[in-house]
Chains A and B, each alone.
Chain A
Amino acid sequence: GEDVEQSLFLSVREGDSSVINCTYTDSSSTYLYWYKQEPGAGLQLLTYIFSNMDMKQDQRLTVLLNKKDKHLSLRIADTQTGDSAIYFCAESRPGSSNTGKLIFGQGTTLQVKP
């Protein structure tokens, strides 16, 4: 299909790991991004992965990329209440470099319970 798909909601307990999943559409996409949106704010770039990588780690964040299945995941270790937000994945499709268009998923709302 044409859409980038994410599950809409995830609830975890403080201190647990969170895994947010995303299925993208174009196996030749160059970069894939994760954004975080806190209530009432804009989107903040969290991390990204280049398509020739299968894993990227950045402090509590781990991004896994499975190109064969076109599956992207974001793992947050030791989840805190401050991690409660909406998380968006986005793909950069080939041919879009002259416009910079990204295709966004619908966003996953992460709820962290104390």
Chain B
Amino acid sequence: DVKVTQSSRYLVKRTGEKVFLECVQDMDHENMFWYRQDPGLGLRLIYFSYDVKMKEKGDIPEGYSVSREKKERFSLILESASTNQTSMYLCASSFGTGFSYQPQHFGDGTRLSIL
């Protein structure tokens, strides 16, 4: 079974702090994704990566950056946390190029509160 592990289930940080959310997958997947989920807004894609050191902006990248130094690990960085970044953050991974069947496999999520 695919395992996607997010480093924290719950996190509380202060406005202006630099925040790191970590995600690790164990299936040698090429693609990794970061989403945020807010009530009434569904899932919104922040950033994704299709290879080591490669990244692309999703729909709402402002205020975020990412890092993919190793294939299994994808980090989301809030450069200077703000209260409007309080949300549930979900990481996912999937197979890469050449696979038409590419379901995304999700971690359990990190509920981040910015005070």
Give the interface SS of chain A, mostly helix, strand, loop or mixed. loop
Please tell me if the beta carbons of A100 and B94 are within 8 angstroms of each other in the complex: yes
Please tell me if the beta carbons of B108 and A97 are within 8 angstroms of each other in the complex: no
Q: How far is the CA of A44 from the CA of B40 in the complex (A)?
A: 19
Task: Tell me the number of A-to-B contacts counted with CB atoms below 8 Å.
Answer: 69
Q: Residue A44 contacts which of B30, B33, B101, B106 (CB distance < 8 angstroms)?
A: B106
Q: Using CB atoms, name the residue of chain A closest to B91.
A: A42
Please tell me if the beta carbons of B31 and A100 are within 8 angstroms of each other in the complex: yes
Please tell me if the beta carbons of B97 and A98 are within 8 angstroms of each other in the complex: yes
Please tell me if the beta carbons of B96 and A98 are within 8 angstroms of each other in the complex: yes
Instruction: Give the contact stretch, choosing among B41-49, B64-72, B76-84.
Output: B41-49
Please tell me if the beta carbons of A97 and B109 are within 8 angstroms of each other in the complex: no
Please tell me if the beta carbons of B106 and A99 are within 8 angstroms of each other in the complex: no
Chain B interface: which size bin?
20 to 34
Q: Residue A102 contacts which of B4, B41, B104 (CB distance < 8 angstroms)?
A: B104
Per-position binary interface string of chain B over residues 10-52, scored 1 when its CB falls under 8 Å from any chain A CB and 0 otherwise: 0000000000000000000011010000001111010010100
Residues of B within 8 A of A30 (CB): 100
Per-position binary interface string of chain B over residues 102-114, scored 1 when its CB falls under 8 Å from any chain A CB and 0 otherwise: 1111111101000
A residues whose Cβ falls under 8 Å from a Cβ of B: 30-31, 33, 35, 40-45, 48, 50, 88, 90, 92, 97-102, 104-107
B residues whose Cβ falls under 8 Å from a Cβ of A: 4, 30-31, 33, 40-43, 45, 48, 50, 56, 90, 92, 94-109, 111
